[in-house]
Amino acid sequence: MAPLATVADPVESPHLEDFDEVVRLYWPRVFRFALASLRDHDAAESVAQDCFLRAHNARQAFRGECSVSTWLMQIAVNLVRDYGRNRRIQFWKRTRTSAPDLDAVSRSIADRGVSPEGRAQVKEQVEAVWRATGRLSEKQRTVFLLRFVEDMDLLEIAAATGMKEGTVKTHLFRATETIRQRLGGIT
């Protein structure tokens, strides 16, 4: 399965002293992950802002053991996890009947001269995958989104989530198989 959208880590990461550049380069990646995980635009905005605030405050402690992108995604993964565990927010999440803006998600996929019928089919596929990812376990969903939405490799995902590479592989395999089963006849 090809990634829905990717932002490649630049060959040279910006220095953390130029934090405006860090935000400019990595905001889309952090926000997309938060939005795909939380399915709430306002919550994703808050998580992304909090991620960059925490990174800015901790930039002097960054040891450079991983890329800036991986470090930011590790912060984002933890914030999304914390957000999901907050009982007060869980209450409002259950009472709200919000759905993702699937038109916006399907528009983010490259057009490449696709016919209206082709766009409708892509939109249907995106909706089906979106529904299927919503029913994955938290760890499977996180690994799946980091791999196929953010195009992170297994070692980056392991660093961002704090899991071992083998555990990432297992969750990714199970998530992919579950989604394939749930999609059934959709190609």
Residue 62 domain boundaries: 14-98
Q: Is residue 1 part of a domain?
A: no
Overall domain count for the chain: 2
Position with higher pLDDT, 129 vs 40: 40
pLDDT value for 132: 84
Domain boundary among 77, 98, 119: 98
pLDDT value for 135: 86
187 and 133 fall within a common domain? yes
119 and 175 fall within a common domain? yes
Cα–Cα separations (whole angstroms), residue 3 to 59, 61, 145, 181: 30, 32, 9, 19
pLDDT value for 94: 52
How much is the pTM?
0.62
d(CA 7, CA 50): 20
Position with higher pLDDT, 71 vs 148: 71
Provide mean pLDDT across the span 100-120. Answer: 61
Provide mean pLDDT across the span 28-42. Answer: 92
Domain boundary among 81, 98, 115: 98
148 and 186 fall within a common domain? yes
Residue 4 has pLDDT above 50, yes or no: no
Q: What is the 3-state secondary structure (H, E, C) of 45-97?
A: HHHHHHHHHHHHHHHHHCCCCCCHHHHHHHHHHHHHHHHHHCHHHHHHHHHCC
The CATH number covering residue 50 comes to: 1.10.1740.10
pLDDT value for 3: 41
The CATH number covering residue 124 comes to: 1.10.10.10
Provide mean pLDDT across the span 67-86. Answer: 89
